[in-house]
Chains A and B, each alone.
Chain A
């Protein structure tokens, strides 16, 4: 499997560790030998789909850190052989390639990005307990919140009623978590905010298509405020698709009601 083969080939070191001697000889290295590079020389590729909130998390993070990357647009209904080669286990986006090595799963990618590119804003806090709390909330969003919203969209009748109940409860939990904070990450966008990208845009679109009103300013003032602020951050604004485009796209994918 590619994952294992590549992990022994390259070594990443910081610019300060390169001696003048190594720099002079840099041009003589062949492709197969270990290549000593500075952060800026490393090629980053992102395999993503414009309609995938998981892809967008990673794109926003790359931009936040000021990382140059090559965007490879994937069609979810017609995945490229390259993607399938880089992510044979899940066959999904997003995948980030760094120095020819693939990193899969959006949260794993976000942590990787934060560890490699230390300059620029931090995605995770330093303190171990604060990091644990961030990871906890991310897990809550991915395993409880978003699935409940998707269940509302995909179900009807009693099942939908239950899903609405669950989603309301989960959103109330998030509402409480925002108390006294501008972002989930505090004063700045962090891991939890990035993970909540689904809530910022996809949630509203799915609920509109389902004809369900849930996320009102009266019931969820803090969450609605967070959505406004988050969506208006310049990096988020320029990265996310237009709401109308997402709406049209999801509408076109809809299966006819039973």
Chain B
């Protein structure tokens, strides 16, 4: 049976990148369709009428939306190569917990701490440092969050490996100091330098311009 995999993405979407990484790790061939988010294609709107966003994975004509949902779908469908989630239900629950933490707690805080204003920015910086401690703790004795291999939680936190530097540069704030977060800093390096992901990183300068315009 011929399988067809399409991924609707944009040049900078951190959520779409998760799927790019997952598909690469699993050795799944796919067609990347780059969307201009200011001028969305009718196909994208057809495949994701509810949110009208990227990423959308279309597998044999059926769309899957929302990056963490897509990651689980990819893991369940291509379950031979490179498992993303652990087998053990409790470890799986922990992985899901931390992925939600990345999106629901950490990302909004880091956004406020770098792109926010005044008091809110300072408050967010303090909370970011507190919450990053949990992430640092997770890496004790491990190279990746997934252990020896990159896993679901690594892909969930992957945005940090390239965006933290950008946000720090744009805002002039330092969120992750090597001395304070040695394991996390090392993880960011390892993830960024992972050979299979070398071609995936969005252009740094273009990102700087994008986030400078957020102010």
A binds B: yes
Structural contact, A131 and B76, CB atoms closer than 8 A: yes
Interface check A242, CB cutoff 8 A: no
Q: Is the CB of B73 within 8 A of A112?
A: no
Q: Which of B19-60 contact A (CB under 8 A)?
A: 50-51, 59
Q: How far does the alpha carbon of A104 sit from the alpha carbon of B100 in the complex, in Å?
A: 11
- Using CB atoms, name the residue of chain B closest to A177: B50
**Residues B60-79 near A (CB distance < 8 A):** 62, 64-66, 68-70, 72-73, 76-77
Contact in complex: A3, B73 (CB < 8 Å): no
Digitize B70-104: 1 where CB-to-A-CB distance is under 8 Å, 0 elsewhere. 10110011000000000011111110110011000
Q: From DSSP, what is the main secondary structure of chain A's interface residues?
A: helix
B69 near A108 (CB under 8 angstroms)?
no
Interface residue tally of chain A, by bracket? 20 to 34
Q: Is the CB of A129 within 8 A of B93?
A: no
- List the A side residues contacting B138 at CB < 8 Å: 4
Q: Contact check: which of B66, B68, B101 meets A89 at CB < 8 Å?
A: B101
Q: Kindly state the separation between the CA atoms of A94 and B64 in the bound complex, as whole angstroms.
A: 28
Q: Is the CB of A139 within 8 A of B66?
A: yes
The verdict on A155 contacting chain B, using a C-beta distance below 8 Å, is: no
- Does A173 lie at the interface of the complex (its beta carbon under 8 Å from any beta carbon of B)? yes
Q: Are A173 and B90 in contact (CB under 8 A)?
A: no
Q: Any chain A CB within 8 A of the CB of B198?
A: no
Q: In the complex, what distance in Å separates the CA atom of A139 from the CA atom of B90?
A: 21
- Kindly provide the distance from the CB of A93 to the nearest chain B CB, expressed in whole angstroms: 15
Q: Which residue of B lies closest to A129 (CB)?
A: B62
Do A105 and B100 form a contact, CB below 8 Å, given A115-B92, A128-B77? yes
Q: A229 within 8 Å of B by Cβ?
A: no
B91 touches A7 (CB 8 A): yes
Would you call A105 and B89 a contact (CB within 8 A)? Answer: no
B59 CB contacts on chain A under 8 angstroms: 129
B89 touches A3 (CB 8 A): no
> Can you sample 8 A-B contacts with CB below 8 Å?
A103-B93, A103-B97, A108-B100, A111-B96, A116-B89, A131-B72, A136-B66, A140-B50
B interface residues, Cβ below 8 angstroms from A: 50-51, 59, 62, 64-66, 68-70, 72-73, 76-77, 88-94, 96-97, 100-101, 105, 131, 134, 137-138, 140
